[in-house]
C-alpha cells in the first residue's frame, strides 16, 4: 500500500532504510484519516498520531483482532464511531444518537446474532461463541455507521461490501466458481483443524487453522480489495490533478491573459508590446522552470518588480496610464510588501476616484528607508471634509503602514489632485543597484 499511496510527497522522502516503520506525524486532536483511509480511517489516524507507518498499524490491527478473538475489532468499530474524520468536529455517534431507527436496527441485528450464535452452539458449533460479543457489537456498530456516516463513507462501505453482494450476483462465473471451490476447501480444512483438535497437531491448531481461514478469505475477497485499493489511488490522483489544473488556470488568468489583454490595447505601440511580451515570457519561464508563482508579490520579488506589477495591474484593470518611476531597488520583505500593498491601494483609489488620466507612482530605495509617492492631478478632495468611503481607505492605508512602523500622509485639495506619501524604514541591507 504505501508504495502506491497517492501522496508521493507526503512522507516518502522521509523514509530511510532504517526507519521504514515511521510515517509522517500529525499534531492536534485525534482524527480519523480522510484521504488515506482504507476502511474507516482509524489506522491512518492512529498512524498519524503515533508517527508509525500506516501499513504497520494496519497489520498490527489485523493481528490483534486474530489474537484477541475479535475483541480488537470492537475497538476499531468504536473508534470509527467516536472519532470525527479529519477536518471535521462531529463524530458519527453524535449523529447516530438521534437516529432512532438506526439504533433499533442495530439492536435488532445484535439480538438476531445472539440468537443465531445460541442456535449454532446448540447444534455443536460451540467455537462460534468465542467471537460472539465482537461479532454482535461490530455488526451493531457498523449498522449505525452505515446509516449515519457521510456519503463518502457509505460509498466506501458499499464498495467493501461489493464482493459479498457479488457472490450472489452475476460476474465472471468460471473464475468465481474456482475461487469459491478453493476457498471452501481451505475454509473447511481450516475450521476442521481449529475445531477438531487432533492429538498430533493440537499445538499447531490455532495458528494453522487461522492461517487457512485467512487464506480462504483472501482468495475470495482479495481481488476485489486490490481493485478497490487501486481505485482509491486513481481517484486521489485524479483529484490532485484537478486541483493543479484549477490552480494553473487561475495563475494563467492572472498573468498571461492579463498581459495579452494589455498587448491588444497597445497594439499600436510596438516597443511596449515587445516589453510586455518579454516580461511575460520571463515571468512564465520563472514559473514553469523555477517554480516561482507569477503575479504574486512574494518576497522573492524586488521592489521595482512590485511597482511594475502595480502599474500593469492598474493599467489593465482601470484603463489609465500609470507613470511608474523607481530609483534603486531591493529585495522585498514583509514590511516592504505592506508598503507595496498600501501603494497599490492608493493607486487603485486614484484610478477609481480622481478622474485623472495619469497617476504617477514614484518609489525610492534609500539606505535607511523606502519611500513611495502616488500622485494624481484629479479632482482632489478636502481632507477636513472627507466622505466616509475615502476616510475608510485613508485609514486602511494608514493602518497598514503604521502596523509595520511606517508612515503615511495624504495631501489633497479640491481641484488640485491628491498625493499619498508612504515611508517605510528598512530593516537591514544596503542600497542595491536596480538591475533586476
Partner 1 sequence: MSPASGPVPSVVIVDDHGLFRSGVRSELGDRVNVVGEAEDVEPAISLISRILPDVVLLDVHLPGGGGQLVVGAVKAEHPEVRFLALSASDAPEDVIAVIRSGARGYVTKTISGADLVDAVVRVAAGDAVFSPRLAGFVLDAFASLPEAAEAAGLGPSFDPELDQLTTREREVLRLIARGYTYKEIAREFTISSRTVETHVSSVLRKLQLSTRHQLTRWATERRLI
Minimum distance from residue 308 beta carbon to partner 1 (Å): 9
Q: Distance between CA atoms of 233 and 180, rounded to whole angstroms? A: 28
Question: Between residue 113 and residue 152, which ones bind partner 1 under the rule CB under 8 A?
Answer: none
Find out whether 407 and 420 touch, Cβ atoms under 8 Å: no
Q: Give the 3-state secondary structure of residue 366.
A: coil
Does residue 323 belong to the site contacting partner 1 (CB under 8 A)?
A: yes
Find out whether 40 and 150 touch, Cβ atoms under 8 Å: no
Vertex 44, ends 39 and 48: CA angle to 5°?
170
Cβ distance to partner 1 smaller for residue 88 or 269: 269
Strand partners, 365: 370
- Compute how many residues bind partner 1; rule: CB under 8 A: 28
Does residue 423 belong to the site contacting partner 1 (CB under 8 A)?
A: no
Taking CB under 8 A as the criterion, the residue among 271, 291, 368, 388 binding partner 1 is 271
Vertex 295, ends 291 and 301: CA angle to 5°?
70
Cβ distance to partner 1 smaller for residue 53 or 419: 419
Q: Which stretch binds partner 1 (CB under 8 A): 2-10, 181-189, 310-318, 427-435?
A: 427-435
Beta pairing, strands 321-327 & 358-365? parallel
Minimum distance from residue 362 beta carbon to partner 1 (Å): 4
Minimum distance from residue 434 beta carbon to partner 1 (Å): 6
Minimum distance from residue 410 beta carbon to partner 1 (Å): 14
Q: What are phi and psi of 321, to 5 degrees?
A: -85, 135
Q: Is 221 left (phi over 0), alpha (psi -120 to 50) or beta?
A: alpha
Q: Distance between CA atoms of 271 and 94, rounded to whole angstroms? A: 66
Does residue 360 belong to the site contacting partner 1 (CB under 8 A)?
A: yes
Minimum distance from residue 326 beta carbon to partner 1 (Å): 6
Q: How many residues would you count in the chain?
A: 436
Site string for partner 1, 275-304 (x = CB under 8 A): x--xx--x----------------------
Minimum distance from residue 257 beta carbon to partner 1 (Å): 20
DSSP type of residue 202: T
| Cell output for 99 | 437516529
Segment holding 323, helix H or strand E: strand 321-327
Q: Distance between CA atoms of 345 and 327, rounded to whole angstroms? A: 21
Taking CB under 8 A as the criterion, the residue among 209, 375, 381, 418 binding partner 1 is 375
Site string for partner 1, 70-99 (x = CB under 8 A): ------------------------------
Binding residues for partner 1 (CB under 8 A): 269-272, 274-275, 278-279, 282, 321, 323, 325-328, 358, 360, 362, 364, 373, 375, 377, 419, 431, 433-436
Amino acid at each position: 500500500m504505501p508504495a502506491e499511496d497517492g501522496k508521493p510527497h507526503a512522507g516518502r522522502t522521509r523514509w530511510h532504510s532504517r526507519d521504514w516503520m515511521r510515517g509522517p506525524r500529525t499534531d492536534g486532536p485525534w482524527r480519523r484519516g480522510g484521504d488515506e483511509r482504507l476502511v474507516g480511517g482509524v489506522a491512518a489516524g492512529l498512524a498519524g498520531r503515533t508517527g508509525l507507518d500506516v501499513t504497520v498499524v494496519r497489520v498490527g490491527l489485523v493481528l490483534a483482532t486474530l489474537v484477541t478473538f475479535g475483541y480488537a475489532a470492537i475497538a476499531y468499530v468504536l473508534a470509527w464511531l467516536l472519532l470525527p474524520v479529519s477536518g471535521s468536529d462531529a463524530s458519527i455517534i453524535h449523529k447516530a444518537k438521534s437516529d432512532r431507527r438506526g439504533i433499533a436496527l442495530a439492536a435488532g441485528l445484535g439480538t438476531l446474532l445472539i440468537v443465531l450464535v445460541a442456535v449454532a452452539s446448540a447444534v455443536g458449533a460451540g467455537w462460534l461463541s468465542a467471537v460472539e460479543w465482537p461479532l454482535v457489537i461490530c455488526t451493531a456498530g457498523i449498522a449505525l455507521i452505515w446509516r449515519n456516516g457521510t456519503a463518502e463513507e457509505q460509498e466506501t462501505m458499499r464498495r467493501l461490501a461489493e464482493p459479498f453482494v457479488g457472490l450472489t450476483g452475476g460476474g465472471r462465473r468460471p473464475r468465481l466458481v474456482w475461487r469459491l471451490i478453493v476457498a471452501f476447501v481451505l475454509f473447511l480444512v481450516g475450521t476442521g483443524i481449529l475445531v477438531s483438535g487432533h492429538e498430533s497437531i493440537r499445538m499447531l491448531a490455532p495458528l494453522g487453522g487461522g492461517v487457512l481461514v485467512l487464506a480462504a478469505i483472501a482468495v475470495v475477497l482479495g481481488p476485489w480489495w486490490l481493485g478497490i485499493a487501486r481505485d482509491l489511488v486513481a481517484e486521489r490522483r485524479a483529484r490532485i490533478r484537478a486541483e493543479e489544473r484549477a490552480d494553473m488556470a487561475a495563475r494563467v488568468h492572472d498573468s498571461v491573459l492579463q498581459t495579452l489583454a494589455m498587448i491588444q490595447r497597445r497594439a499600436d505601440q510596438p516597443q511596449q508590446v515587445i516589453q510586455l511580451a518579454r516580461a511575460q515570457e520571463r515571468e512564465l519561464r520563472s514559473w514553469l522552470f523555477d517554480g516561482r508563482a507569477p503575479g504574486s508579490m512574494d518576497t522573492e520579488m524586488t521592489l521595482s518588480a512590485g511597482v511594475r506589477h502595480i502599474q500593469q495591474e492598474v493599467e489593465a484593470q482601470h484603463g489609465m496610464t500609470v507613470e511608474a518611476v523607481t530609483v534603486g531597488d531591493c529585495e522585498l520583505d514583509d514590511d516592504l510588501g505592506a508598503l507595496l500593498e498600501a501603494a497599490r491601494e492608493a493607486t487603485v483609489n486614484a484610478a477609481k476616484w480622481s478622474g485623472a488620466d495619469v497617476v504617477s507612482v514614484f518609489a525610492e530605495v534609500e539606505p535607511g528607508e523606502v519611500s513611495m509617492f502616488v500622485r494624481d492631478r484629479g479632482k482632489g478632495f478636502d481632507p477636513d471634509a472627507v466622505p466616509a468611503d475615502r476616510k475608510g481607505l485613508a485609514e486602511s492605508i494608514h493602518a497598514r503602514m503604521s502596523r509595520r512602523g511606517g508612515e503615511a500622509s495624504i495631501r489633497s485639495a479640491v481641484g488640485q489632485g491628491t498625493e499619498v506619501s508612504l515611508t517605510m524604514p528598512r530593516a537591514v541591507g544596503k542600497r542595491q543597484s536596480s538591475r533586476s
